[in-house]
A = this chain, B = another copy of it.
Amino acid sequence: MHRVPYRDIFDSLVRILLNAGFEEQRARLCAKLFADASRDGVYSHGLNRFPLFVSTIRNGIVDIHAAPTLVSGAGSLERWDGNSGPGNLNAYSSMERAIALARRNGVGCVALANTNHWMRGGSYGWQAADAGVAGICWTNTLPNLPPWGASTPRLGNNPLVLAVPRPNGHVVLDMAMSQFSYGALASYRARGELLPVAGGFDAAGELTRVPEAIEESMRPLPIGYWKGSGLALMLDLIAGMLSGGRTTHQIEAKPERETGLSQVFVAIDPSALGQRAIAAGIAEQVIRNLQSVLRPEGEAVQYPGQRVSRIRAENLAKGIPVEPSVWQQVEEMADNA
């Protein structure tokens, strides 16, 4: 496995973004969000996605100079327009705003329209937890998930993120509505592995564990069959309704043209209840109880975010595993920058 130090990846990405015309602070934050995703083991939405991100700058989908602007709002709820800016910068700034609203009002909710792919959704959960608040956020996507019972993709696999701060490692769940995100399918395919459980239907309508069969059919299985299908719909509806932006059926179904997404960012500050210390204690107790349960193999049960914390430490110590072809492509872009 080829590993590259975090700093080298970060520096290369910054150089490429500066060369693309990004303002310096924005280049650094954008590069950090990509490098952090790979550092945390979410390779599909880190370095591996960076070349596609650059191509969406070139094809005009992403406006690198655009930042969100306030459309309307009242108290704890605000609607922002993402103005087709970089999806990860827009999302980061929206969660920052939700956190600021939560510090003032206990809860903050920012709905964002006209934005681009936010890359790794978990980033904004970790961001909230690092700020000591609970975070909930989701995005809609292009149509890539058939509603339960049908075979045409009309829903998005709309990732949902929930995060709770905890001094010994935040608890962060980052999940798509399909049993496996397209990013996860691509990772299994790249490793030549079958999925651990059936992840969707093949072209013939049979359940399958072969990742490329599902990528081709675009018929991934929603989590919990009809339940995940319903949840994907609700997230899209709420995002569209609050942001005033597009819902999934209005989004172009080509990954390289996917734009005009709608997202929701909620932050809840427990210290508004005068109880932040107690809240941290509750998270600690719950996680300890969970970890006291052993799997049949004798390992403790894992909590959401635990694997991220472990991989982060390992990747910072040993370097971040990269796909050689992707890293070569990025290095060439940086050399030409």
Contact = CB atoms under 8 A, between A and B. Distances in A.
Interface in A258-278: 266, 268-270, 272-275, 278
Given A77-B106, A134-B242, A231-B175, A247 B282 contact: yes
B75 A105 contact: yes
Nearest to A302: B149
Interface in A81-105: 104-105
A228 interface: yes
B106 A171 contact: no
A186 B266 CA distance: 36
A220 to B, nearest CB: 11
A51 interface: no
B234 A171 contact: yes
Given A152-B293, A242-B270, A286-B237, A301 B147 contact: yes
A282 B241 contact: yes
Nearest to A237: B164
A107 B77 contact: yes
Contact-residue size bin, chain A (C-beta under 8 Å from the other chain)? 35 or more
A279 B236 CA distance: 12
A173 to B, nearest CB: 4
A80 to B, nearest CB: 11
Contact of A109 (B107, B150, B224): B107
How often does this chain occur in the complex, in copies?
2
Nearest to A305: B230
A46 B80 CA distance: 42
Most central of A237, A247, A248, A295 by chain B CB within 10 Å: A237
A75 B76 contact: yes
Contacts of A223: 223-225, 227-228
Given A237-B164, A242-B273, A294 B227 contact: no
A117 to B, nearest CB: 21
Nearest to A245: B282
A224 B179 contact: yes
B164 A241 contact: yes
A197 interface: yes
29 contacts: A71-B273, A74-B105, A74-B273, A75-B107, A76-B107, A78-B106, A79-B273, A109-B268, A111-B273, A134-B238, A134-B241, A134-B242, A148-B301, A154-B290, A155-B290, A164-B234, A171-B234, A173-B231, A173-B233, A223-B223, A223-B227, A230-B303, A234-B304, A238-B268, A241-B270, A242-B268, A242-B273, A247-B282, A266-B266
Interface of A: 71-79, 104-109, 111, 134, 146-152, 154-155, 162, 164, 171, 173, 175, 179, 197, 223-225, 227-228, 230-231, 233-238, 240-242, 244, 247-249, 266, 268-270, 272-275, 278-279, 282-283, 285-286, 289-290, 293-296, 301-304
